[in-house]
């Protein structure tokens, strides 16, 4: 082990330096995302578990329409950040400064959009929304742009929908957050599928055949934070032969989006308070369903953040997203 690696390993496990680095890396402003969302519950502990629940409803515009389309447009402002490695973004910014125009960033935006699939049933809109929630509301930065690893836009990448990071404030441990987004016609279906997708990343013992193994391998070789010292530090935790691997924690972030009748069919009948009341009432059942799934999958001791977001139509959200990224 060289001197630099020794210093990194000695400094990080209980040091706030890594936490401050992640705070700097997290993108987006909370107020911008919440222009189109109404927070009805945040960071609420689910009794008997280590899960925290978050519940949002779509905000209404001046005419009473739920701001689903505007939400799509706002998250699409993050397509470059989500899909392109940080070093490549920083190179483009530098190129723009040197050239005196924004051509490099325009090309990067085209490249980012070209990575999204054309499939009608694509879940990539939900995956981008999950990214924005994790970065903006939780402050957990994405530590690898997996979209850039796709071999063809029609394909979805394997593994988790996202990989984010934070430092546990109590223990100082590095925590990797595996993200899964599910957009479904029903809340029960979205919860069931989200939990089933998260389970392998959270409970399987580490081995060459564990579902998270490929993502960990990609992180070890492909992490790009445009900060070599920070990358080396994180890689030390990801190395299963390194003692720091024993100080690595795993957690889950889930987004469950689903159709809900809380939004009236005609905007003139929309009332923000009535929508909030209906969603809050239904939230009791959604959390009960989530608790049962946590029990089924033996996830009570696993740190998780679960976001509930009802839509007038998840299909309309998906179609708008495909149009916005140029897939339709």
pLDDT at 299 over 90: yes
Give the CB-side neighbour count of residue 242, counting CA atoms within 13 A.
Answer: 20
Cα distance between residue 263 and residue 278, in whole Å = 9
Across 213-232, average pLDDT? 85
Helix axes 213-222 and 228-238, enclosed angle (nearest 10) = 150
Could you tell me if 250 and 299 are in contact, meaning their C-beta atoms sit under 8 angstroms apart?
no
> pTM for this structure?
0.91
Least confident interval from 11-25, 33-47, 259-273: 11-25
Q: Which residue is it, tokens 């329409």?
A: 65
Give residue 152's pLDDT: 56
pLDDT tens digit string along 255-293?
A: 999 999 999 887 777 789 999 999 999 999 999 999 999
Cα distance between residue 244 and residue 191, in whole Å = 33
pLDDT at 99 over 90: yes
Quick one: which H or E segment has residue 137? none
Task: Report residue 14's pLDDT band, with 50, 70 and 90 as the boundaries.
Answer: very low
pLDDT at 145 over 70: yes
Percent composition of the chain: helix, strand, coil (DSSP 3-state, to 5) = 50, 15, 30
Least confident interval from 25-29, 100-104, 166-170, 189-193: 166-170
Task: Report residue 20's pLDDT band, with 50, 70 and 90 as the boundaries.
Answer: confident
Neighbours of 247 (CB within 10 A): 18
Task: Report residue 8's pLDDT band, with 50, 70 and 90 as the boundaries.
Answer: very low
Give residue 151's pLDDT: 54
DSSP 147: G
Burial of 182 (0-12, 13-18, 19+ CB in 10 A): buried
The beta-carbon contacts of 234-237 under 8 Å, at least 24 apart in sequence, are 234/143, 234/165, 234/174, 236/5, 236/8, 236/9, 236/12, 237/12, 237/174
Quick one: which H or E segment has residue 7? helix 3-11
pLDDT tens digit string along 62-94?
A: 888 999 999 999 999 999 999 999 999 999 999
**138/240: higher pLDDT:** 138
Give residue 150's pLDDT: 61
pLDDT at 53 over 70: yes
Give residue 328's pLDDT: 44
Could you tell me if 37 and 275 are in contact, meaning their C-beta atoms sit under 8 angstroms apart?
no
Across 158-184, average pLDDT? 89
pLDDT at 108 over 60: yes
Neighbours of 86 (CB within 10 A): 20
Nearest CA-CA partner of 89 in 78, 100, 99: 78
| pLDDT, the chain, mean | 88
Give residue 153's pLDDT: 54
């Amino acid at each position: 082990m060289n001197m630099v690696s020794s210093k990194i390993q000695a400094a990080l496990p209980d040091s706030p330096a890594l936490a401050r680095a992640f705070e700097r890396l997290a993108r987006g402003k909370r107020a911008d995302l919440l222009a189109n969302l109404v927070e009805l519950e945040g960071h609420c502990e689910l009794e008997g578990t280590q899960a925290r629940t978050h519940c949002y409803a779509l905000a209404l515009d001046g005419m009473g329409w739920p701001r689903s389309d505007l939400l799509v447009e706002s998250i699409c402002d993050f397509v470059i950040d989500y899909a392109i490695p940080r070093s490549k973004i920083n190179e483009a910014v530098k190129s723009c400064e040197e050239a005196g125009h924004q051509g490099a960033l325009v090309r990067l935006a085209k490249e980012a959009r070209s990575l999204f699939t054309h499939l009608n049933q694509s879940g990539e809109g939900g995956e981008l929304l999950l990214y924005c929630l994790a970065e903006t509301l939780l402050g957990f930065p994405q530590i690898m742009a997996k979209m850039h690893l796709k071999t063809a836009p029609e394909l979805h990448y394997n593994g988790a929908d996202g990989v984010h990071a934070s430092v546990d404030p109590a223990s100082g441990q590095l925590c990797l957050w595996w993200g899964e987004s599910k957009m479904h016609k029903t809340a029960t279906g979205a919860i069931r599928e989200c939990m089933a997708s998260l389970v392998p990343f959270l409970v399987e013992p580490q081995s060459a055949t564990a579902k998270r193994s490929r993502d960990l391998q990609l992180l070890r070789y492909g992490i790009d934070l445009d900060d070599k010292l920070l990358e080396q530090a994180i890689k030390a935790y990801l190395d299963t032969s390194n003692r720091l691997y024993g100080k690595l924690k795993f957690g889950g972030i889930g987004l469950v989006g689903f159709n809900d009748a809380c939004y009236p069919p005609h905007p003139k009948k929309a009332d923000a308070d009535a929508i909030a009341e209906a969603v809050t009432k239904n939230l009791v059942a959604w959390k009960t369903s989530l608790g049962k799934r946590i029990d089924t999958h033996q996830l009570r001791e696993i740190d998780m953040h679960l976001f509930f977001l009802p839509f007038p139509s998840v299909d309309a959200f998906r179609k708008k997203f495909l149009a916005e990224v140029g897939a339709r």
